[in-house]
Amino acid sequence: MNTTSTASTPTATEVSKVWVADQGDGTYKNPILHADYSDPDVCRVGDDYYMTSSSFNVAPGLQILHSRDMVNWKIIGYALDRNTPLEHFAKPQHGNGVWAPAIRHHNGEFYIYWGDPDYGIYMVKTKDPAGQWEEPVLVQAGKGLIDSCPLWEEDGKAYLVHAYAGSRAGIKSILVVHRMSPDGTKLLDDGVMVFDGHDNHPTVEGPKFYKRNGYYYIFAPAGGVSTGWQLVLRSKNVYGPYEEKIVMDQGSTSINGPHQGAWVTTPSGEDWFFHFQDVEAYGRVVHLQPMNWVNDWPVIGADKDGDGKGEPVMTFKKPDVGQTYPVVTPQESDEFDWSGLGLQWQWHANPKATWAFATGSKGALRLFTDQLPEDYKNFWDVPNLLLQKFPAETFTATTKLKFSPNPKLQNERTGLLVMGEDYAHLSLVSKKDGIYLAYTTVDDAHKGTPENEQLLGKLNGNKVYLRVEVDKDARCQFSYSENGTDFKKAGNFFTAVPGRWIGAKVGVFATREDKINDAGYADYDWFRITPNTSSTFQSKK
């Protein structure tokens, strides 16, 4: 079974217990998504809003979220089952793959464009964003082509704007516009440089293309992921010259680097802007800002001094979409009691069909152990990590499992993992005389650092509850229980850190050292995200 399939996903109704942006009184609080939906882009079709974001090396990729009011969001599917080229992404390609996508609706179809910094600009499309998307089309091959966004004119002419990744192209901080075939499948020229940000807007990238009142607009972040500002360019000619204006920056707020996202309108004519904020281990969380037009320039957020440049707001009245919709949040917990994985889960590389199976009536997810890579140093190289985004600043993740190792093997392993460039996991490991608990940490995993393992003792059986509590500043405390009630701490505090261009993630895994014709397995009964309720962190000075 392909457990990444989204076709039979049930409609989940559970609301997050750890972060809800809708305050229930007609207002919302930022971030609207306290999770790592980096480089978000949004389009509206009728009364429906659709969001996608960077997914880099994970699979499935290009998550699709849906909302009716821009505040309450649900994951409805993915545009990519696997990353392409398939074999290249069969191994973890940290920080590579899908960068800064743009989602648009044109002639009855949804299009997503993105740049893979090593291969070029890709496009996928569909008529049903919650269904199956077509195979990716390579619109333009090339190194360092990133952050692409299309624009279709009323007369059918099409253009595409993109940026360059300095790490691949050897140049950056410029934006280029190309003519594109009306069907959106190929570029028709070598492009025209329409903006050079080297003097005033270093690292200008992430452009989004719009047209309004006879002006072409390019909304583009500049100044760096964690420190930048929102730039807008405008011109009466698609190739410029473009005027420039900073329309939002941090100002007097605590919201660092508020930039890169999407301008969206409501049917009633309101204007809104989505952007990210980089919060280190928690990734790039998504904020929603009110937006107004003054003299054909957008003003984003609150413009307290009237200079045409806004700053982020933390709370605001919800968008006027004509009615009030129920509170919904992206999926987090998973009872594993149907025929597939919840849509919040992603593998760290293109998956094999043998890694995970739904077990139907047993109501569990069975993870078979998979052999570690031949050049294994630590989990940085392991593809079969099943992970999801941190869903809030503080939360607890608990899972119940039963481990059935292959009796012919030793050192099969399964457990609960917090993954980043540093990582930690609490695992069950098979030995000759039974199953042991182990707590493992690694600093600078991306440098090939060996694991530091601490054996905690032998389990009485093969069933256990594993838990990690995440507190402010991404401090994590692992613990375990054999009865589901009394939890014992495992190891010291671990501080989660980002991965490569992503926030830390939490999830499960199953591995083995040996090549053999059969595998042990772990049955995960459920995985639940709940608030922190214990005094775990209160004793920490």
Q: Active-site positions? A: 39, 205
Q: Is 290 exposed, middle or buried (0-12, 13-18, 19+ CB in 10 A)?
A: middle
8 A C-beta contact, residue 426 and residue 480: yes
- The rounded radius of gyration (Å) of the Cα atoms in the chain is 23
Distance CA 86, CA 158 (A): 30
Distance CA 26, CA 208 (A): 30
SS3 category, 140: strand
The number of beta carbons lying within 10 Å of the beta carbon of residue 80 is: 26
Q: Which residue is listed with tokens 């952007």?
A: 275
Q: For residue 495, how far is the Cα from the chain centroid?
A: 20
Query: In this structure, what DSSP letter does residue 134 have?
Result: P
Pairing of strands 370-371, 505-512: parallel
Angle at 469 between CA 343 and CA 453, to 5 degrees: 100
Query: How large is the greatest C-alpha to C-alpha distance in the chain, in angstroms?
Result: 76
Phi, psi of 373 (to 5 degrees): -60, 150
- Residues 6 or more apart whose CB falls under 8 angstroms from that of 279 comprise 285, 503
DSSP letter for each residue of 185-230: S-B-SS-EEEEE-TTT-TT----EEEEETTEEEEEEEES-TTT-EE
Distance CA 130, CA 9 (A): 10
SS3 category, 29: strand
Q: Which residue is listed with tokens 């995993």?
A: 445
Closest among 517, 519, 260 to 414, alpha carbons compared = 519
DSSP letter for each residue of 341-400: --TT-EESSSPPTTSEEE-GGG--EEEEPEEPPTT-SSGGG-S-EEEEE--SSSEEEEEE
Closest among 110, 18, 131, 29 to 72, alpha carbons compared = 29
Distance CA 3, CA 343 (A): 10
Distance CA 33, CA 451 (A): 33
Compute CA distances 199 → 164, 177, 222, 223, 446, whole Å. 16, 20, 11, 11, 34
